[in-house]
Amino acid sequence: MGKIIVTGASGHLGTAAIRHLLDLGVQPGDIVGVVRDKAKGAALAELGVELRLGDYDDAASLPSAFEGGEKLLFVSASSMDNTLRIRQHAAVVEAARNAGIKHIAYTGIAFGEKMTTGLENVHLATEYMIRTTGAAYTFLRNGFYLELLVNEGTAGVVEGGTVISAAPSGKMNYVTRDNLARAAAVVLTREGHENKAYELTASHPFSYDEYAAVLAEVSGKPVVHKALPAPEAVSAMVAAGVPEGGAGFLIHVVDAAIERGEFGLPSDDLANLIGDAYTPLKTAVEQALNG
Ligand SMILES: NC(=O)c1ccc[n+]([C@@H]2O[C@H](COP(=O)([O-])OP(=O)(O)OC[C@H]3O[C@@H](n4cnc5c(N)ncnc54)[C@H](OP(=O)(O)O)[C@@H]3O)[C@@H](O)[C@H]2O)c1
């Protein structure tokens, strides 16, 4: 078997996907992590994973990064400039084709065809580009990370007793990044995932009301959800320490889309791919609050 190449290997998702590949029995020597800075991949190198330099902004760096690869986990670029990202992604897809990669798994966005946030355009464009290569593909249409909500700040939200949003009743199909990494590793190591698109979301999307109820249940403390008009919600988040740009994005883009139902579609694709490893909301909250 040729090598499995993983881009974005220095990032959260790429690193976790490599750890899951190892967990699923792939030999470290059969994995290549593509990074912009080898120092950022030091922990992977210690596990025996080969690191190669590759930069989506430097097409000339990609042929040697992808050489000898049979499968590619292509982690989407992290730039906020979606026009630039399409150019970056084009460089990756072209290099993968030219390197003779047989199977490209790409991390896109869940239910992008039904989304109107603007985030979907780069992912749909990239999926269509991948289809032109003739390689087998698996579109890992990732749901939003549950870590956006459930993170090191969650204990503070519980102490404050209030979850603030601008989405009174819309639902979220968020899932953990680690679950998404596991799904990527599964499709690269098991048969039957060629030329498939998976909507990797929660099986049971939840509203902010339901999220607050889970926080209350797990912590044993009163927590309520308060939906505010968007400008007030941004101000409340900024007062709570969220940077203004991030708060504006979460309220005006994400919560607005939640309320339009664009993050509320359920799918069992993730649970079906990863089985018992699937982490429901309550478990993620327990892990965040109780360690
Ligand atoms: N589903 C969601 O909720 C969600 C949220 C945020 C982002 N995303 C998308 O999912 C991707 C993976 O998420 P993540 O949490 O792993 O993000 P992350 O921790 O920020 O990792 C991003 C990875 O992409 C690499 N990268 C960025 N620009 C690159 C370039 N020009 N050339 C080569 N590599 C480049 C980074 O390398 P460096 O370490 O060198 O920077 C890093 O390894 C993100 O890049 C983004 O497209 C999804």
State the Cα–Cα distance between residues 213 and 209, nearest whole angstrom: 6
Separation of alpha carbons 214 and 217, rounded Å: 5
Query: pLDDT tier at 235 (50, 70, 90 boundaries)?
Result: very high
Task: Tell me the percentage of the chain whose pLDDT exceeds 70.
Answer: 100
Residue positions counted in the chain: 291
**Quick one: which atom of ligand 1 is closest to the CA of 88?**
31
Here the tokens at position 222 are 């009163």
> Ligand 1, atom 19: nearest CA belongs to which residue?
11
Q: Residue 73: beta bridge partners?
A: 6, 105
- Ligand 1 pocket test target in 62, 78, 147, 198 with most atoms within 8 Å of CB: 78
Q: What is the pLDDT of the chain when averaged over all its residues?
A: 97
Helices (H), 134-229: 154-160, 177-189, 208-219
pLDDT reported for residue 263: 97
Helix axes 281-290, 208-219, angle to 10 degrees: 50
Asked if pLDDT for residue 67 goes beyond 80, the answer is: yes
Residue nearest to atom 21 of ligand 1 (CA): 11
At residue 131, the pLDDT reads: 98
Residue 207 reports pLDDT greater than 90: yes
pLDDT at 240: 85
Q: Is the CB of 58 under 6 A from ligand 1?
A: no
Q: What are the phi and psi torsion angles at 52 (to 5°)?
A: -130, 150
- Are the beta carbons of 25 and 4 closer than 8 angstroms? no
Q: Which residue's CA lies nearest to atom 24 of ligand 1?
A: 8
Report whether pLDDT(272) > 80.
Answer: yes
| Domains observed in the chain | 3-142 (3.40.50.720), 147-172+203-264+279-290 (3.90.25.10)
Question: What type of residue is 95?
Answer: A
Indicate which atom in ligand 1 lies nearest the CA of residue 55.
32
pLDDT of residue 10: 98
The share of the chain scoring above pLDDT 90, in percent, equals 98
Rounded Cα gap, residues 103 and 277, in angstroms: 24
Q: Cβ(55) to ligand 1 under 6 A?
A: yes
Region 258-280 average pLDDT: 97
User: pLDDT grade, residue 282 (50/70/90)?
Assistant: very high
Query: Which two tokens mark 20?
Result: 């899951």
For residue 291, is pLDDT > 90? no
258 Cα: distance to centroid of ligand 1 (angstroms): 23
CA-closest residue to ligand 1 atom 15: 12
